[in-house]
Structure 1
Amino acid sequence: MDKIYIEGLEVQSLIGVYDWERDATQRLLVDIVLFSDLQKPAYSDDVDDTLNYAEVAQAVTDVAANSQFALIEALAQAMISQVFSQFPVQKMTLKLSKPDILPTAQNVAVEFTRERKDT
């Protein structure tokens, strides 16, 4: 299975459990691995034959901007669900990082790997 990577995608979201986290959006970082058959675009050199990674990035950004989850786990799953609903991806890994939350840690993150269930 071939892969497309989107790394370090910066998004903004209203997320968190504590009241002070709900006052303003927070910076989150998203790393995505999209598993798909890329044989056709590899030979055709035609953008219409591949996954449009700019559209995938925008879909994930939109989910973050329009959500109000308490947990990054819930937001990560919503992002995955949106990608599966819009794009022909067989499997994906999504790492969602909340880098500015703990003063003594560089990052806090969750990582999910999911496979399309309707194939």
Structure 2
Amino acid sequence: MPALYPDAIIRIKNLRLRTFIGINDEEIKNKQDVVINIVIHYPAEKARSSENIDDALNYRTITKRVIAHVENHRFALLEKLTQDVLNIACEHDWVTYAEVEIDKLFALRYADSVSMSMSYRRA
């Protein structure tokens, strides 16, 4: 029988962090700005009729884990950084779908940013 309600969708928008990202000497020596967007789908049947935080997927906990990971590690590739954040976003058993997009600001001379997107869907 199909669910009565579609999944709830959490959107963490424009999380601005600084990290070491890249392979050039300048990038290895200096932190750069990245902008992270995360979308997480999960069935929120319990949370729809509850006031108990344990019945909901805690986006604050997820965000804190992302911040700690991004700010405390070095990344040569945007792909690795994006996959790491996606892994954090889809850790919880309730997550049915997650998508991460990370913008590396000023990565190209004539562009605002270069971004990488990756997604996860529970089989």
TM-score normalised according to structure 2 size? 0.85
- 2:63 is matched with which residue? 57
Matched, 1:9 2:15: yes
Max radius of gyration: which structure? Answer: 2
Structure 2 unaligned blocks of 5 or more: 1-6
Task: Deviation per CA, 1:48-100: give whole Å up to 9, x if none.
Answer: 21111111111111111122111111111011123333563222000011122
Q: Would the aligned equivalents of 1:51 and 1:87 in 2 still touch at CA under 8 Å?
A: no
Task: Say which of 69, 82, 93 aligns to 2:88.
Answer: 82
Q: Would the aligned equivalents of 2:19 and 2:32 in 1 still touch at CA under 8 Å?
A: yes
- What is the letter of the counterpart of residue 4 of structure 1? I
CA RMSD after TM alignment: 1.6
C-alpha displacement at 1:39, in angstroms? 2.0
Secondary structure of 2:105's counterpart equals: coil
Task: Say which of 70, 78, 86 aligns to 1:72.
Answer: 78
Alpha-carbon spacing, 1:25–1:86, altered in 2? closer, same or farther (3 Å): farther
Greater per-residue helix proportion: 1
CA distance in 1, matches of 2:73, 2:95: 23
Greater per-residue strand proportion: 2
Matched, 1:94 2:75: no
Q: Would the aligned equivalents of 2:103 and 2:115 in 1 still touch at CA under 8 Å?
A: yes
Task: Say which of 36, 41, 54 aligns to 1:35.
Answer: 41
TM-score normalised according to structure 1 size? 0.88
Secondary structure of 1:44's counterpart equals: coil
- What is the letter of the counterpart of residue 102 of structure 2? L
Structure 1 unaligned blocks of 5 or more: none
- What is the letter of the counterpart of residue 84 of structure 2? A
C-alpha displacement at 1:40, in angstroms? 1.2
